Structure 1
């Protein structure tokens, strides 16, 4: 395609403008195309696209058909041209005049008045780019003589999908139907001649053909999930290529200088890992099964080694598969095991992703990786509060590059959250899904997948499999309470490979099974705070006398309110105790301070420790307590809690007491695990927990999911597949949202660990208000300030709008110190005082 001929007077049309230079539009489009080919050369994206559409089966009037080679060639070209033509709409004279300050000296004053000064003509270029794209692509489709009518329906549909992406590349993704509804009006817009003055072609879009194809595509059956995924991939690539090409212009650097970071020397990384003392110990154990015994090392190391060895062996037998499960007890070394497996799967050009339910686990794992690789593996935490890497030695910081690296996940190894991963898959925000292409050929480790919203487990399983198939990434799923999610799907062959063939062998080993005695005597009683306090005193006293050391006692409630109330109740009633309360309101610094205190050896303690907490402590947090008590919720969550007790398996006499205080069916009202509520299924509940066999729980959950998904004439899952087919991005994003709770952030300017909240707020206000600062610099500084902001920020759950005055996404609460008691935020008091404002409609 010769754009020099298509764009009239192209040497006078600009795409970007710096202080001393204009970037010609053809140069920007060429740069964008070059970036795409640079990425494609690494990940073979076009080959993967061809593979998907070559294998995709379509059905019309009960007859199957596949796309011809010529049709697939067109799909590949349309995909590539979506990136190449994304900014061709900048030929809009009004855009050139207002955004590029283009004087068009070769135009007459009358032409300038009509084209550039007309107030009713907009500067929009993205939608105009999509119009030109359709005009050029429809021509190519119609020119193809050997393509059948039904294939053309598919091609027209995919052309619209791509055009919708182009039209929104400077905004959030929207639904395809919204784009289609606007299309006829825009094609016939009386101002279109003005917009396309520099388009050296007559606009010849046949809307009637497009409309007919858009209707007929609904009659054709095909795998909607695959088309949706390529829609997300193209969106990621288009925006990323555009950003990288733009950075090239502003930084005055060649496209070839921009490096897509990934693991290049996999053998070097492996060599470092294999020289690690833990792995060397496992290798010694393989040669001599008495190695740990002879070196006076804990017997638990034998079990951990057996688990890793079995995982590695089964991986070697199935390394052509894509998805692997590691189900093993808490404290069995899943981090090292998963890393060992990941290094077997990793290729040169891969990235390594660790995905966690909570930020604390990312920080824990970062410490592990840094301890092993000593900085030889470029690792970055990506979440809402972790700062971006800026070298203190940098004289001139390229903030655009720092921000761009974060947006496209341009690191060798990424530690992030479930929310970030699902935003990559399903987010509509431009920057939410930019980095999706970085998942190509990568290895992703998912931790505690059972914590994902089980209302959408069926959809999650299908998407994980399809994304891994299309993007050719490997997936390692690990948990101590891992549901066999594959049972939700009708796969002909087994797709999820269990690296531990019989987890019960390890769960039933006395080192794991008997390390904590599960006590249920409180389940037969009405429990109140006094009874719980008496239990704590009694059990800690027994521990002190028998062990001659201080005890660490963990008690978990299922609501933050109850945890905070119990903390207030016991604070003045316990002597010779250090009492902590940890919940979702606590900032990273306090959380880490408490965890560090808990990690002290019992002999170092100067008093007994009582930690009062909520679910924030369940999922993999690395603490090792002696005794515990928990308000029951579900067997798998209770097991995660028990995993925080005697984690090292080195102690005897460790106990976990279960009690029933708050109503789980209110706290977890939409959770399908309520099918095994302790109030109704006490015996099965306790049997499931004591036997460490959670299949009885998950079987009931799977039945509930299948009943719910197909219970109506037009079932929920059918509606979802229609959303996929019609590329209803907003609806899909909403459906796949992991957390449904709505909340807003308040800022209370106290003083914490010598950091003055007022000063932090002033710095934030100055950043937000500084309109002279470049966008990238402000954005990077904002991200790097988040860690401090988070110290003074509290989340308030509310499904209603409110009349509080917001600034930059936060509600500043003047004199908010009154809501802080004993270093804790009193959310109940805050809600009472601000109730009239919080309940505003």
Structure 2
């Protein structure tokens, strides 16, 4: 018998050799045909047919396709049939799946010698076999060359979305694997075409792609189908130990969207709130003129008027032109942005076919602050899977459910499979920009969504052009409605596609003449004092400036001060200088920068919020960590020079709720804001954190604006953003003239399917700009369970039963640093591993990391269980972890002898404290000797 004499049955995944048969597996204990059926079931559940038809209609109209829609779908579903077909490789079955049946039967017929000769890499061969199938169909390949994309989807479905123009050897490798390819063609009854036919088709497709510059549709189609296939494949594989019938039934648990019943609950709960009762239906008569707005004296009424105007304009736009899907919401700090955005989301859900809501925010603290507002005000339940916050340190502790259910929740997190979710800019945009398989899981889930982008100006300026392009294009291609909101909203509309052509996207501004709100006296809460003060940190009188400002404000009853610096080094320097004065001036003080662990940050914020505003004197020295999403207010603020948007963010932390006006019973009282320009080592300190493009645009325009008018107005802010857009255009134009790579080239790379170019370290798109090497450190210290333990001095959580712990927690929820689920989890691990994690209301970091390490080591071979443990521990570990950027981190870690546990290094107890040899202080953060290298650390924003 020859190896070609074996017969393969595609329908039951068995090879037949005379009277013997060999089962072909996709995974352990799962036949290949079963996996393909399951993948199809999930694919059907996830794919959006309307979106698919839109893609087809466009491609057919553009003459990229010349087949019927029925055949288009047929070839698409055939892609699923072929995606793992090369797992019939005997080499793969033996090497990867330990399928001993293969060796046993083949040996019987003297065919086992062929096992090692057959190619085990199934994705590549599967893609070639699919291409063979297409060439055997009665279609004109030249007129349907777009179908070649589906072969590349198969090729990359275990690795990444392939750069087609960089895969020039793809079809040319067919000769290299011809023996395996020809053999498999016999097994699946596909007549292999001449290798030249494959190569000609690829070359023709390359020429076609190379001629396309401005059409994003192909890239979005390719990305969408890839996302759907890899998602279906992974989800289907998670049910490898289940029957096909089980998967048919449980597939209903996937693609969770906002159905009518949930939408009704969300609306009902939202409009039941006292301040939203009159906001359900809005008429033109309810909109106020500028004079009427100016006459309002109640800030809540003013907020309601802004909400009503935004909602009215949104619904008007949806009715007049449904194709306009990008909406700008420009509202003052304290104007009720979050509540207004929730109303706008309800309007879109009601008046369109969008059925998912995604809140994306730049910083974790904004997510934490807004998540519970969104959840509670919409009446959503996390336990029912209606809402979820998804970022690396979000809590994922699962009680009273099986490991299978835990795995499914983790899987759903990976696929954004919730009706409503909150996530970070990084997580959201990575799904679009990055080409690795794991990032693409969420991409298809974005379709038919309302996406709210908060604090949009936080996106990296060097990529504003390409990101604005992608936001608009994904909106058109995936039917996504964007609400882009901020108190400082960039002028993206002025950006240009290339030197000659401006963007012509149609966007909708939901507030007409925002100046009528921004200039309202209720939002006119601060005043910039004096001119910008130049300081040198090396001068002896450096600290006198801060001392004088503090004394001046204390004398007039302004008792809470905030000092915001640009770098960790400067924040520590100023903190140390002022620390010497705190006793004589009678004030408390704290340091808050990115090297302070999250649990300490929370304690500091809690202290500020609960401080007696009439008597307590307090100074917070901080970095940009306090800018956005930290809901605190100060009487006076000193800000080292920064971009205007950063200065505006800090002004929003001064007299935030007009508490000075209430305290002094004076409508004219304003918070005091001071701007400095600190120099160290003959270099302005802000230049350590801004790149050249930011200095040439934002910093330059901020300097000009403040030189002209230190107490600028809203129109000045509009002009500022207009000038920034012009500056970006000029920078891009100059690069275009000189043939230098520019951000606009990222748009061309996207359209030409050169996705890896978007990842280029210097020129690609990066939501977080990593200047050096970022390291994570775990502080093996004891953390208080409670923010304020005065009420708990005579009792410890460690001795309370679970029931009593629950009761205590519910009564004092806001006083706990650890959540109830986290405390239950720690108590459970104490009993399970016979370890003392909690003592005297303190969680022992050293014991915790030991316990975590034991759990991981125990489950080393069980990848699924290991993922569950890592996910469950993540929110607890996060409270002990900080991140900084350090040059030469390997040298530092080696010199300090730090152990690595997963993604972080552990700083042990003996290296924690305020001594010179300690490398970390709970109060002051990272203690590394900066003087060894001035650039050893910069602030992570």
Alignment of 1:573 with 2:581, yes or no, is: yes
- Match for 2:222 among 217, 231, 239? 231
Classify the secondary structure of the residue corresponding to 2:691: coil
Classify the secondary structure of the residue corresponding to 1:308: helix
TM-score, normalised via structure 2 length:
0.78
Residues 220-619 of structure 1: pairs in structure 2 closer than 5 A: 220-221=211-212, 223-252=214-243, 253-258=246-251, 259=253, 260-264=255-259, 265=261, 266-280=263-277, 299-319=298-318, 320=322, 321-346=324-349, 350-376=355-381, 378-388=386-396, 390=398, 392-394=399-401, 398-489=405-496, 495-513=506-524, 515-523=525-533, 529-544=542-557, 551-575=559-583, 576-600=586-610, 602-603=612-613, 607-619=616-628
Stretch of structure 1 that moved more, 621-630 or 465-474: 621-630
Stretch of structure 1 that moved more, 798-807 or 345-354: 798-807
Q: Contact 2:212–2:752 at 8 Å: present in 1 too?
A: no
CA distance in 2, matches of 1:251, 1:542: 73
Classify the secondary structure of the residue corresponding to 1:398: helix
Deviations 1:56-93 (A, max 9, x none): x5xxxxxxxx3455276665444433334221121111
Q: Contact 2:642–2:699 at 8 Å: present in 1 too?
A: yes
Which residues of structure 1 form unaligned runs of 5+? 58-65, 545-549, 837-841
CA distance in 2, matches of 1:532, 1:783: 48
Question: Which residue number in structure 2 is paired with residue 144 of structure 1?
Answer: 139
Classify the secondary structure of the residue corresponding to 2:327: strand
CA distance in 2, matches of 1:178, 1:770: 43
Classify the secondary structure of the residue corresponding to 2:453: strand
Residues 20-35 of structure 1: pairs in structure 2 closer than 5 A: 22-35=29-42
Classify the secondary structure of the residue corresponding to 1:623: coil
Stretch of structure 1 that moved more, 234-243 or 251-260: 251-260
Stretch of structure 1 that moved more, 576-585 or 719-728: 719-728
Classify the secondary structure of the residue corresponding to 1:249: coil
Question: Which residue number in structure 2 is paired with residue 716 of structure 1?
Answer: 741
Stretch of structure 1 that moved more, 565-574 or 711-720: 711-720
CA distance in 1, matches of 2:848, 2:120: 38
Deviations 1:719-750 (A, max 9, x none): 43553344222222341112231312233422
- Match for 2:756 among 698, 716, 730? 730
Q: Kindly tell me the number of residue pairs found equivalent between the two proteins.
A: 799
CA distance in 1, matches of 2:621, 2:298: 31
Q: Contact 1:688–1:694 at 8 Å: present in 2 too?
A: no
Q: Contact 2:227–2:444 at 8 Å: present in 1 too?
A: yes
Q: Contact 2:526–2:670 at 8 Å: present in 1 too?
A: yes
CA distance in 2, matches of 1:694, 1:369: 30
TM-score, normalised via structure 1 length:
0.87
Q: Contact 1:8–1:198 at 8 Å: present in 2 too?
A: no
Residues 755-766 of structure 1: pairs in structure 2 closer than 5 A: 755-766=843-854
- Match for 1:777 among 847, 855, 865? 865
Structure 1 residues 191 and 609 mapped into 2: Cα distance closer, same or farther (>3 Å)? farther
Alignment of 1:694 with 2:717, yes or no, is: yes
Question: Which residue number in structure 2 is paired with residue 61 of structure 1?
Answer: none
Question: Which residue number in structure 2 is paired with residue 786 of structure 1?
Answer: 874
Structure 1 residues 305 and 85 mapped into 2: Cα distance closer, same or farther (>3 Å)? same
Deviations 1:491-530 (A, max 9, x none): 78652100011111111112213x1111134536767641
- Match for 1:90 among 79, 87, 92? 87
CA distance in 1, matches of 2:409, 2:698: 48
Q: Contact 1:583–1:616 at 8 Å: present in 2 too?
A: yes
Structure 1 residues 282 and 579 mapped into 2: Cα distance closer, same or farther (>3 Å)? farther
Q: Contact 1:678–1:685 at 8 Å: present in 2 too?
A: no
Q: CA deviation at 1:763?
A: 3.0
Question: Which residue number in structure 1 is paired with residue 54 of structure 2?
Answer: 48
Q: Contact 1:114–1:194 at 8 Å: present in 2 too?
A: no
Alignment of 1:811 with 2:905, yes or no, is: yes
Stretch of structure 1 that moved more, 74-83 or 432-441: 74-83
Structure 1 residues 678 and 553 mapped into 2: Cα distance closer, same or farther (>3 Å)? farther
CA distance in 1, matches of 2:710, 2:39: 56
CA distance in 1, matches of 2:122, 2:930: 47
Deviations 1:529-558 (A, max 9, x none): 4134323432442343xxxxx722111111
Deviations 1:98-154 (A, max 9, x none): 3333313543445542333x2x655322222212122212333xx215x7x4x34x4
Structure 1 residues 175 and 315 mapped into 2: Cα distance closer, same or farther (>3 Å)? same
Classify the secondary structure of the residue corresponding to 2:438: coil
Question: Which residue number in structure 1 is paired with residue 833 of structure 2?
Answer: none
CA distance in 2, matches of 1:333, 1:324: 17
Alignment of 1:670 with 2:692, yes or no, is: yes
Q: CA deviation at 1:383?
A: 0.8
Q: Contact 2:30–2:240 at 8 Å: present in 1 too?
A: yes
Question: Cα RMSD over matched residues?
Answer: 3.4
Structure 1 residues 13 and 217 mapped into 2: Cα distance closer, same or farther (>3 Å)? farther
Classify the secondary structure of the residue corresponding to 1:694: helix
CA distance in 1, matches of 2:702, 2:328: 31
Q: Contact 2:640–2:678 at 8 Å: present in 1 too?
A: yes
Structure 1 residues 636 and 472 mapped into 2: Cα distance closer, same or farther (>3 Å)? same
Question: Which residue number in structure 2 is paired with residue 63 of structure 1?
Answer: none
CA distance in 1, matches of 2:408, 2:710: 52
Classify the secondary structure of the residue corresponding to 2:928: helix
Structure 1 residues 433 and 396 mapped into 2: Cα distance closer, same or farther (>3 Å)? closer
Q: Contact 1:263–1:350 at 8 Å: present in 2 too?
A: yes
Q: Contact 1:82–1:162 at 8 Å: present in 2 too?
A: yes
Structure 1 residues 136 and 679 mapped into 2: Cα distance closer, same or farther (>3 Å)? closer
Q: CA deviation at 1:354?
A: 0.7
Question: Which residue number in structure 2 is paired with residue 203 of structure 1?
Answer: 192
Question: Which residue number in structure 2 is paired with residue 62 of structure 1?
Answer: none
Q: Contact 1:768–1:808 at 8 Å: present in 2 too?
A: no
Q: CA deviation at 1:439?
A: 0.9
Q: CA deviation at 1:275?
A: 0.7
Q: CA deviation at 1:368?
A: 0.7
Stretch of structure 1 that moved more, 733-742 or 552-561: 733-742
Question: Which residue number in structure 1 is paired with residue 776 of structure 2?
Answer: 745
Q: CA deviation at 1:415?
A: 0.7
Residues 97-116 of structure 1: pairs in structure 2 closer than 5 A: 97-102=94-99, 103-104=101-102, 106-109=105-108, 112-116=111-115
Structure 1 residues 835 and 649 mapped into 2: Cα distance closer, same or farther (>3 Å)? closer
Structure 1 residues 831 and 232 mapped into 2: Cα distance closer, same or farther (>3 Å)? farther
CA distance in 1, matches of 2:453, 2:727: 24
Classify the secondary structure of the residue corresponding to 1:802: helix
CA distance in 1, matches of 2:226, 2:887: 31
Q: Contact 1:83–1:241 at 8 Å: present in 2 too?
A: no
